[in-house]
Structures are given as C-alpha cells and as structure tokens.
Amino acid sequence: MEDLFKIILYSSFAGVTVFLGGLLSKYFERYFQDGLVKEEIIHTSIAFGGGIITAAVAFVLVPEGMSILPLIPMATLFLTGSIVFFFLDRYIEKKGGTISQLLAMLMDFVPEAIALGAVFATDNNLGLLLAIFIGLQNLPESFNSYRDLRNSGYTSRKCLLILLSLSFSGVFAAIIGYFLLSDMPQLTASLMLFSSGGILYLIFQDIAPMSKVQESWFPALGVNFGFLVGMIGQKILG
C-alpha cells in the first residue's frame, strides 16, 4: 500500500507539469508582446522540447527495448510505430490539425510512466528520480502542445481541459506498470520501441522544421540544451 501511494504521488508530480506547461503557454501567448523576441522564444521552446524528446528516445526508450527484445521484433515494432504515425500525421494534417507536439509528448510520457510504475517493484529511489525527469520533460513539451492545440482551432479553455485530463494519464499508466507490467518486461519494451518509432518520425517531420526562424540561429541551440537535460537525467538515473 505504501508503494502504491508513492507511485500515485510521484506520477502525479510528473503529470501535473503537463497542465502547468499549458497554463504557462496561455499566459505567454496573452501577455508577451509580439515580435522577433517572442518568435525566438517560441521556436527555442519547440527545439528544446524536441531535444528532450530525442534524449528520451536515445537514453530511455530505445536502449530498454534493444536490451530485452531480439532483433526482428525490435526492428518490426520500431518500424510499425514509424508507419502508424506516418499515416496518423497525414490524416490529422488533412483535417487541418497540427498536434504533433501533443502526440510526441504522449508517446514519451505514457511509456515512461509505465516504466516508472514497473521499477517501483525493485527500486523506489530510481522511481523518484524517473518521476522528476519525466516532470521536467513534460513542462516544455506541454508548453508547445498548448500552442499546437490553439493552432488547430481549440479555445484556450478547451486546450487547458485537454492538458489537465492528459496530466492524469501518467497516474493510470504508472499503476498499470506497477500491477501488470512489472513482471512483463518484453511487453513494456515493445511499447517503448513502438513509441520510439513514432516519436522520431514526428520530430523530423513536424517538430524540427517548426523550430527554425529565418535569420535567427539561436533557437537551434534549444535542441542541444534539451538533449543535455536528457543526458543529465540519464547520468543521475545511472
């Protein structure tokens, strides 16, 4: 029971930053004056979030999948994730939507929350560190996801309600990971590789191109800072 309480507490912390990032984006959109500086901040944030997501793929999702699954299932799941999100991205674009940041955040957040629940069976301290890392990742990703939703025509209120509801997905994912997947590492690894394929497609198809600003070179550094956060997190998690 004590472990369950900690899982709910830590995953709630990791998830609440989904809503906080959206709230921050709302007030940034409303009160920050339009101009080059605002554009650079927005595009740097997109690049920073892309860097963090790339780090999650490189240091958490892919290594876990590769360490557990044989070659053919590994390659098949990764490729399947890429293809599924290729078609999903095309479908959303035809409908006039742009929610690539939101999709990438969920495909990163949910598998890592499942892993958070699963590791509690063996190492509570590692679970705490992973929760902190996930929470830090979610903040810039949800900041950009709010803008994605706004650009797709959603009202500010509806965007925040969507992000608030999604913030609880980590709690459910962590509980599932703890009770159902702690003894099923192959299934967890399969989910991580499938997500990795989809995330990488979204990064290079949608997120990276959005980070560029004409005649400005600073935003691209956001990728490096974001990736550095992932490196630091991986070093701490050991």
105 closest CA partner among 168, 52, 34? 52
| CA R_g for the chain | 17
Residues 160 and 98: their CA atoms lie apart, in Å, by: 16
- pTM for the model: 0.77
The pLDDT of residue 40 is: 80
Tens digits of per-residue pLDDT, 87-116?
887 877 776 666 777 777 777 788 878 888
Q: What is the pLDDT of residues 37-75, one digit of tens each?
A: 777 887 788 788 788 888 888 887 888 889 889 999 999
Q: What is the mean pLDDT of the chain?
A: 82
Handedness of CA 120, 60, 220, 170 (dihedral sign): negative
What is the number of domains present in the chain?
A: 1
Domain span holding position 100: 2-237
Measure the CA–CA gap between 135 and 109, rounded to whole angstroms. 9
